[in-house]
Amino acid sequence: MASKKFLYVNRKAPHGSIYALESLEVVLIGAAFEQEVTLAFIDDGVYQLLKNQDSSAIGSKNFSPTYRALGDYDVNQIYVERESLELRGLTKEDLMPLTWEDEDDDWAEKDSIHVVSSAELAEVIEQQDVLLNF
Amino acid sequence: MKFSIMVNEGPYTHQASDSAYHFTAAALKAGHEIVRVFFYHDGVNNGTRLSIPPQDDRNVCTRWSELGQQHELELILCVAAAQRRGLLDEDEAKRAGKNSDNIAPGFEISGLGQLIDAGIQADRLVVFGD
């Protein structure tokens, strides 16, 4: 099977609409297809990665722990747009730690999250074959 | 060129499904190949056969159904999205103990793998949503 570069762009808050949850479902299924997978979080999408989420008061499922499984699915290229964080008064410290184990480096635990400028993110987007926006 | 189409909104509320339909019909008319049309999020609602729009308006659901049958298109509803929203084929209805199914002729229920595969097979995956 041909290998392509898939980029999932997440632009919406985790709750308020179902796009974030159903995006994550595509990412997890897509990971089984042995394609190159990259995730980007921009605009309100950066809220999807906030740590200590609690959605019990709105009665919606808190699916945020699932992001921590991404490393086990070899999804370890996660880009977060710096401008989107700054506009919302957030820093990387507000995000949950997402890591992966590099089997080529004695299973060293490495950071999956890269905070990049919008110009750097544009370069990442430029390199992709298939782009899915959620 | 080989196109795959993704439809992420239901009928009528947004124009996405109309635009996707017109794009698909135009691409076929121009001699392009449609690998698959994949319906996700509220887009699965395009696959109901129980929609009854006013007679002086277009029937978004029937239109997809007819285009699909006419050109033997794969019209795929995502199973997870469809189950959440009550779109069932005969097998799903039976399995879930429901007394009715509601998907239109030409549509099929299948998994998200069909979306990934659509992205791999096509030269372009064109996404319609809001």
Which of A4, A27, A32 is CA-nearest to residue A133? Answer: A27
CB atoms within 10 A of CB B67: 18
0.95 surpassed by complex ipTM: no
Residue A26 and residue B41: Cβ atoms within 8 Å?
no
CA distance A37 to chain B (A): 11
What's the confidence (pLDDT) of residue A80?
98
A6–B40 CB contact, under 8 Å? no
Test the A interface: residue of B85, B120, B123, B128 with most A CBs within 10 Å: B120
Q: How far is B117 from chain A (nearest CA, A)?
A: 8
Cβ contacts (< 8 Å) between A5 and chain B: which residues? none
In the block, tokens 């997978």 appear at A37
Q: Is A29 on the interface with B (CB under 8 A)?
A: yes
Cα B74 to chain center, whole Å? 8
- Edge-to-edge strand list for the sheet holding B124-128: B107-110, B75-78, B33-39, B2-7, B124-128
Q: What is the DSSP letter of A81?
A: E
Whether A13 contacts chain B with CB within 8 A? no
The CATH number corresponding to B2-128 among 3.40.1260.10, 3.90.1300.10, 3.40.1010.10, 3.30.300.180 equals 3.40.1260.10
- Identify the closest residue of chain B to A22 by CA–CA distance: B41
Domains of chain A: 5-133 (3.40.1260.10)
Helix axes B16-29, B60-71, angle to 10 degrees: 20
Which tokens sit at A40?
A: 């980007």
B115, B79, B19, B49: which is closest to A132 by C-alpha? B115
Is B78 part of the annotated catalytic residue set? yes
Residues of A in contact with B113 (CB under 8 A): 29, 32-33
Mean pLDDT over B57-66 rounds to: 96
Share of chain B above pLDDT 70, in %: 100
Percentages of chain A per state (helix, strand, coil), in multiples of 5: 40, 25, 35
Closest CA to A124 of A71, A68, A80, A85: A80
Beta bridge partners of A71: none
Taking CB atoms and an 8 Å cutoff, what residues of chain B touch A4? Answer: 119-120
How close B90 gets to chain A, by Cα (Å)? 24
Instruction: Report residue A125 as tokens.
Output: 């987007």
Residues of chain A with pLDDT under 50: none
Mean pLDDT in chain B?
A: 97
Report residue A94 as tokens: 């507000």
DSSP for residue A46: G
pLDDT tens across B65-90, in order? 999 999 999 999 999 999 999 999 99
Q: What is the DSSP-derived secondary structure letter of residue B5?
A: E
Cα–Cα distance between A84 and A89 in angstroms, integer?
Answer: 9
Region B102-112: what's the mean pLDDT?
Answer: 97
* A57 in reach of chain B (CB within 8 A): no
- 3-state SS, chain B, equals CEEEEEECCCCCCCCHHHHHHHHHHHHHHCCCEEEEEEECHHHHHHHECCCCCCCCCCCHHHHHHHHHHHHCCCEEEEHHHHHHHCCCCHHHHHHCCCCCCCECCCEEEECCHHHHHHHHHCCEEEEECC
Total Cβ atoms within 10 A of residue A10: 27
Question: A65: number of CA atoms within 13 Å, CB side?
Answer: 4
Tens-digit pLDDT profile for residues A63-91:
999 999 999 999 999 999 999 999 999 99
